Structure formats: C-alpha cells, structure tokens
Amino acid sequence: MMAAPVTPSFVETLPPLRGRLQADAKLAPFTWFRCGGPAEVLARPADAEDLSSFLAALPHDVPVHVIGACSNLIIRDGGLPGVTIRLARGFSAIKVEAGGVTAGAAALDVTVSEHAAAAGLTGLEFLSGIPGSIGGAVAMNAGAYGGDVAGVLDWAEVVTHSGERRRLSAAELRFAYRHSALPPGAVVTRAHLRAQPGDPGLIAQRMADIRQAREASQPVRARTGGSTFRNPDGMKAWELIDAAGCRGLTRGGAQVSEKHCNFLINTGTATAADIEGLGEEVRRRVLAATGVRLEWEIKRIGLPGAKPEVVS
C-alpha cells in the first residue's frame, strides 16, 4: 500500500531565505506590551538583498507584516497570518558622516542619537526620547521634543512588496503628522538623517533634559506602548482622557497609566484584547464627555483571539 502524500507545511512552501524562517513564532516577547499572538511564519532576512529576493519570489496573495522594536504596537491575540518580517542584525549598522548619520532600519532611535552626539553632531537629540527603531520612525514620521523625522530625513531606502529596492527622498515620502506615504507593503531598510556640527556640551545637556523629562512624566519602566492616541488639533489627548475620568481606568490586566493617561500599561496579566478594549472604552468616554473622537496612534494588527473584545 502506498503511503498518503504528505502536504507540506506553509513554511516549507515559502521561497528560500539566507536568514531564518520560523513557524508559529512567539511575538509577545518582542512587544513592549509583552502580549499578543504568534506569527504564522517569522522571517528574519540576513540583509536587504536577502529581503529583496525573498519578497520578489513570495506569492502576492501571502499576507506580509513588518515589525520592528514593537514599541508602539498591539499584536492581537490571534496572531499574524502569513509572513511577518522582522529586521535584525543585518539592518542595525550606524555610520556617522560629516553631514549626518546613515542608519539601518533596526538601529534604535536612541542609539542613533547617541552616535551623533559622540561625533559632535546636533539635530538628532529628539530621537533619544523616542522608544523605537529607525524603520518605524520613518514609517510613522516619529517625533518628540520639538523634532521629527520629516525635519531631518534626506532619503530612505526601501524594499517594495514586489522585491524592488528603491531610494525615496523626503519629498517622495510626503510626510504628515505621524505618517509617511511609503509604497504599500514597502519595508524601510536604511535611512540618512541630517545633522550639523554642534557644541558637545549643549548636545549632552539637551539629551539629559529629554531623558529627565521622559522619566518624570511617562511610565517608562512599565509594559506600555508609548502614546496611545494622537493629539487632536490644538488639544492634548491626555487632558481629554483625564477630563473624561479615565485616569487609572482598568480592563482585565490593562490600565490607563496614573502617571500619564495617554499611556496604556500591562499590569502583568493583560491580553492584547484587554489593552485594545480599554483603549476603545477610553475613546467612548472621551467622545461622550467632550465630543472629541480620539484617533489611535498605536498601530493594531493581527487577528482577534478566540474570545475577542468588542471594539469599534
């Protein structure tokens, strides 16, 4: 009797990768919230060329997600179907030049600012107050403490969903508040940020001031995801949340921070549904109390779990 044919697993049907492909990979340890479901397949390419050839050969109907430092992200409890791309070692190089810094997408924002400061370059101090990586900073035009990526970026290199490698100028990215016009499905791999010679003492003091301000006003040592909602025009999201009586509000293991109420935290047992559901409850209460509809700044991706929260 002939044996029944063995159906290959999903990961076995994918194009080759010099990096690593891992099926059913846990993603919660990567996220700042420390919760959420797994990736059906996690791809960690070796370098931009590896990523390009992989995406070029990947069937276009396979869902693709990209994660970085996961500092401003909720991955829902049902996880991410298809392929999840995470850039790591081959994308973390930082090169300081006369006119600025070229950094890989996986380089942490704070590390880039530190390299610039060590070289006596000013203009990138604001990055020391942003908990994320350069790829994510470009994708969402990250900003804080008087600066943003739009104000310093010369170009960003990307790999498109079809595997094409392109260099895009700041003008082509059409930056807006917490937004860039990346081609759909494109992955940022590297960027050049402008910086100018400055006084090392003033640069160090500016970064120390930013660090002190963050620690004084934000729950930086908690399991959090950064600013939850965008600031509406002319208003502060945290003030609206406070006015609606949401400071300290809880749902399951999730809580609105007592220290800064535009931050949600995982007190230790929260699911992604707890956190997202709490955020939606905050939006509902703010709308009812103030007439203002808050918009999420935290990105939320993936499938709900078996018993999802009801979210709008």
Told to judge if 297 belongs to the known catalytic residues of this protein, a careful annotator would answer yes
Choose, from 128, 133, 227, 257, the residue flagged as catalytic. Answer: 227
Is position 133 annotated as part of the catalytic site? no
Nearest to 103 by CA among 138, 146, 74: 138
Catalytic site residue from 44, 178, 190, 214: 178
**Distance (Å, whole) CA 65 – CA 41:** 10
Catalytic position from the list 40, 157, 276, 297:
297
Among 28, 38, 31, which residue's Cα sits nearest to residue 71?
Answer: 31
Cα–Cα distance measured from residue 147 to residue 170, given in angstroms and rounded to the nearest whole number: 15
Is 169 an annotated catalytic residue? no
The residues carrying an active-site annotation are 178, 227, 297
